[in-house]
A and B are shown apart, each in its own frame.
Chain A
Amino acid sequence: MLSESECREVEAFLFKEARLADESDYDGWEALWADDALYWVPTRPDADPETEVSHIYDNRTRIATRIRQLKSGVRYSQTPASPMRRVLSNIEIEKMSDDEYEAAANFMLMELAVQSTRNMNLWGGRAIYRLRREGGKLRLCSKKILLVDADEPIANLSFLI
């Protein structure tokens, strides 16, 4: 049974993750991840990653490469980083075991493509998180992002979604 304090703690984690992503705080965001990480943006909700290509399917090693690239100073599609703000809502949390939670939230993200067009891009969908308590602290094991328009032509997705 999920306690009130656990609920607050998981929500606080989701809001922090969202803020670190919004602010392109690459080190802070990377530090949230557990070793068995999966950062996944499929093209449809029930996609099979073994047989279907995804927009993003990063394990921990590839997350590290992604962050190194963003921090290189010459990741031109994110140089400078897009100003962003996202709103999380419709949060649902389930306790999976003593130390694991699954959470899901709808999000709306305003992203300003200052690197080229200066278009304000609107991204929306549902994010599904798996969190685990390790040494007293919550860690992000997986984040699966179901974009509403995942199977449509989309703009650059090189920021942290």
Chain B
Amino acid sequence: MAAKVAYDALIHPDRVHGSLYIDPAIFEDEMENIFHKGWVFVGHTSEVPNIGDFARRQIGRQPVLILHTPRDGVKLFLNRCTHRGNLLCTRTRGNANSFTCPYHGWSFGIGGELRGMPMPGGMGDSFDREALSLAEVPRVGIHRGFIFASLAREGMSFEEYLGDAKILLDRAADLSPEGEVDLSAGWLKHRFKANWKMLPENNTDGYHVVTTHASLLRATGVADSLAFNDEKGDPSLIRDWGGGHTELDFAPRYKMMGMPFLWFGGTSPKKLPNYVAAMRETYGDEVANERMMDGPPHAIIFPNLFLAELNITYFYPVSTNEVVQYYTPMLLKGAPEINARAIRQTEGAMGPGSFLLPEDACMAERNQLGLAAQYPEWLDLRRGMGREQVDEASGLLSSVVSDETTNRAFWRHYLSVMSEAA
């Protein structure tokens, strides 16, 4: 048994130690304490709308199935035959009437129950069939269709985990006139040869955009107009929602510019007449207008969900230096005018072939390579420490969009989770 890592010696308010990204013992602790015991994002109910629909996922390193059961709605099961451990379902997604393990023919219903096996007589008289139903993921929490899970039977409640950040999920779903997002357009999958923590750290980092993504800004001609170039001119905020949840809030900029749909390429409301009408019909003019001005959230739900405006992104870690990130368009139920273009927007922004994410992947990989150098020992995260403050409207710690307030928020929470467990 390796010695326990003293996390409080590695994580300070203004800096973190390089070993956090490369030490295999730390990765093992993270798998256990963050990804297996803690709550993580797994998927969305819209991926499995009908009874028998399933989608394969991973919680930390463990394979799971999201399954729409006949009687109990959406449930999560460990994707493992309860007989001798065979991976039960190998398809990525689909619809099933049952799952049969090809090794010895044990068969399971879509409620997870063990239906039967060849030559059952040999199991003996005391054989308890129910005890060999598929193993359920012990705790599942669903908010606005977003499915989260914990592999631990006990621990922080789902409500406590999500905290006020459930407002961010609400903000996403409330952009739909039916109050629901639809994640059925499939997932792009992207392999980064980098430590997983670089993803949540980067995804709400407002500082890197103007340099890392300079090529897109130049190619699309928005380089000069983008307020990222001048932090004083951009009222956007970076925000700590607590619990490791962080946000880059563009709404103040959109309000300053005074136009709706700046989050949707600045499209004229005249081109989205049915969407605008449906939003006003459902929510009333004032609320609908505000939502169409503010747009979707750009936020991290700790540890692995990224609400990336009109995209949903999550990841699972593979090893100290490898992580797989998934992307899908965040379609809005009842908004076909938005959805047709949202798919094209996702292809432009997200995924290995897009105009944005290849640069983020490249930077994460270069970070990982650079961190093989052990000096200087620390990564500097002090940017904006002297000017962050509690935002009056939200009551949350906020700062200038290019500040590292979100990185510090991530690490503060990481330290608390990793220290509690130690």
Contacts and interface: CB of A to CB of B under 8 A. Distances in A.
A153 B363 contact: no
B-side interface size class = 35 or more
A153 to B, nearest CB: 4
A62 B216 CA distance: 12
B189 A152 contact: yes
A53 B191 CA distance: 17
Contacts of A74: 214-215, 218
Contacts of A62: 348
B352 A155 contact: yes
A65 interface: yes
Given A116-B369, A117-B369, A56 B347 contact: yes
A90 interface: no
A156 interface: yes
A50 interface: yes
Contacts of A72: 214-215, 218-219
Interface stretch (B105-113, B130-138, B354-362, B388-396): B354-362
Interface in B350-387: 351-355, 358-359, 361-363, 365-366, 369
A89 interface: no
A101 B70 CA distance: 50
A53 B343 CA distance: 6
Nearest to A59: B344
A157 B214 CA distance: 18
B298 interface: no
Contact of B359 (A50, A57, A76, A119): A76
A19 B345 CA distance: 30
A72 B184 CA distance: 35
A28 B363 CA distance: 29
Contacts of B189: 151-154
A52 interface: yes
Contacts of B218: 68-69, 72, 74
Contacts of B327: 53
B215 A57 contact: no
A65 B365 contact: no
Interface in B99-141: none
Given A43-B186, A55-B188, A157-B353, A76 B362 contact: yes
A73 B214 CA distance: 9
B324 A55 contact: no
A151 B351 CA distance: 12
B340 interface: yes
B355 A77 contact: no
A65 B356 CA distance: 12
Contacts of A76: 212, 215, 359, 362-363
Given A69-B215, A117-B193, A43 B347 contact: no
A86 interface: no
Contacts of A78: 358
Interface of A: 41, 43, 47, 49-57, 62, 65-66, 68-70, 72-78, 115-117, 119, 151-158, 161
10 closest A-B pairs by beta carbon, nearest first, are: A77-B358, A116-B365, A69-B219, A157-B353, A158-B358, A68-B219, A153-B191, A55-B353, A75-B215, A153-B189
Interface of B: 92, 184-191, 193, 212, 214-216, 218-220, 324, 327-329, 340, 343-344, 346-348, 351-355, 358-359, 361-363, 365-366, 369
30 contacts: A47-B186, A51-B185, A53-B186, A53-B351, A55-B188, A55-B353, A56-B347, A62-B348, A65-B355, A69-B218, A69-B219, A70-B215, A72-B215, A72-B218, A74-B218, A76-B215, A76-B359, A76-B362, A78-B358, A119-B193, A151-B92, A152-B189, A153-B190, A153-B324, A154-B191, A155-B190, A155-B191, A156-B358, A157-B352, A157-B358
Given A43-B187, A57-B343, A161-B353, 4 more contacts: A41-B353, A70-B215, A117-B193, A155-B193
